[in-house]
Amino acid sequence: MIELAIDIEGLAFAWSGGEPVLDVPQFQVRRGESVFLRGPSGSGKSTLLGVISGVLAPGRGRIGVLGSDLGRLTGAERDSYRAAHIGLVFQMFNLLPYLSVLDNVLLPARFSAVRRQRARPDAESEARRLLAELGIPAATVTGRPATELSVGQQQRVAVARALLGRPELVIADEPTSALDSDTRDAFLRLLMAECAAAGATLLFVSHDTALGTQFDRRLSIAEINLAEPHREPA
């Protein structure tokens, strides 16, 4: 059993021809740990998440994620690696408007055989169980577009999708910024409870320091990224 979910050493990343955005000498997250990563926009956190989730090819360094060095994988291999092992939750607009809630949650199982096989007893049952645990009314799960739900409910659906098929690592990028304070706290509790129940490592990124109290560990991005902060190309 590999102890580290994320094990980065000497990572450097720059957009083509630009200033270095990332300069991370070392960043480690243990398996099962929940980590709160705080940083303002422009601090390179989205780029870091892109590298960890295998979307961006690292310029230099060892990007150990769940025992694999992403720097040595091809683009296609990183894609299937992400599909199989990483669940992602974004700030907003996580759901495809033309699919039902259930079909949105089932998407990882459609693209990854690993996620499909790990779902117990099967993908649809697990999706319905996760949705029920996250408080999505069963009546809204099929038959109408997912985007008819409230923003808070949509974010919880995104969590269910990120957890389907028990990926080892869940990355959440500002998932609460579109929520009001009441739903935000409830959302956070549910997210952490579900990750703990699934045994998933949680990497949570936000600029809102007030959220960090419930996490195993809190970090500022400035502590791990030594590159000068500047605007991200987004």
Partner 1 sequence: MKPLVVLAARSLWNRRGGAALTVFAIAVSVTLLVGVETMRSGARESFARTISGTDLIVGARSGPINLLLYSVFRVGDATTNVSWQSYELVSRHPDVAWTIPISLGDSHRGYRVMGTSGDYFLHYRYGNRQDLRFSAGGPFKDADDAVVGAEVARALGYSTGDEITLAHGIGAGSFAPHDEHPFRIAGILAPTGTPVDRTVHVSLEAIAEIHEDWQGGARSLTNPARHPHDGDDPEGAASDAGAQAVPAGITAFLVGMRSKDAVLQMQRALNEFRGEPLSAVIPGVALQQLWQIVGVADRALLVIAACVVLAGLIGMLTSILASLRERRREMAVLRSVGARPLHVFTLMVLEAALLALAGVIAGVAAAHAILAGVAPLLASRYGLFMASAGPGVYDLLLAGAVVGAAILAGLVPAWLAYRNSLADGLTIRT
Which residues contact partner 1 (rule: CB under 8 A)? 46, 49-50, 53, 55-56, 75-76, 79-80, 82-84, 88, 90-99, 103, 107-108, 110-112, 115, 145, 161, 173, 234
Integer Cα distance of 64 and 52 in angstroms: 8
Strand intervals (E) in 82-122? 86-89
* 3-class DSSP assignment, residue 113: helix
Integer Cα distance of 231 and 234 in angstroms: 8
Q: Is 115 exposed, middle or buried, given 0-12, 13-18 or 19+ CB atoms closer than 10 A? A: buried
Residue with smaller CB distance to partner 1, 124 or 185: 124
Phi, psi torsion values for 104, nearest 5 degrees: -65, -45
Q: CB of 50: closest distance to partner 1 in angstroms?
A: 5
**Under a CB-based contact definition with an 8 Å cutoff, are residues 104 and 156 in contact?**
no
Residue with smaller CB distance to partner 1, 34 or 46: 46
**Under a CB-based contact definition with an 8 Å cutoff, are residues 112 and 83 in contact?**
yes
Q: What is the DSSP letter of 140?
A: G
Residue with smaller CB distance to partner 1, 30 or 118: 118
Q: CB of 213: closest distance to partner 1 in angstroms?
A: 27
Q: CB of 48: closest distance to partner 1 in angstroms?
A: 12
Neighbouring CB atoms inside 10 A of 143's CB total 9
Q: CB of 65: closest distance to partner 1 in angstroms?
A: 15
Q: CB of 3: closest distance to partner 1 in angstroms?
A: 26
Residue with smaller CB distance to partner 1, 15 or 209: 15
Neighbouring CB atoms inside 10 A of 153's CB total 21
Residue with smaller CB distance to partner 1, 95 or 224: 95
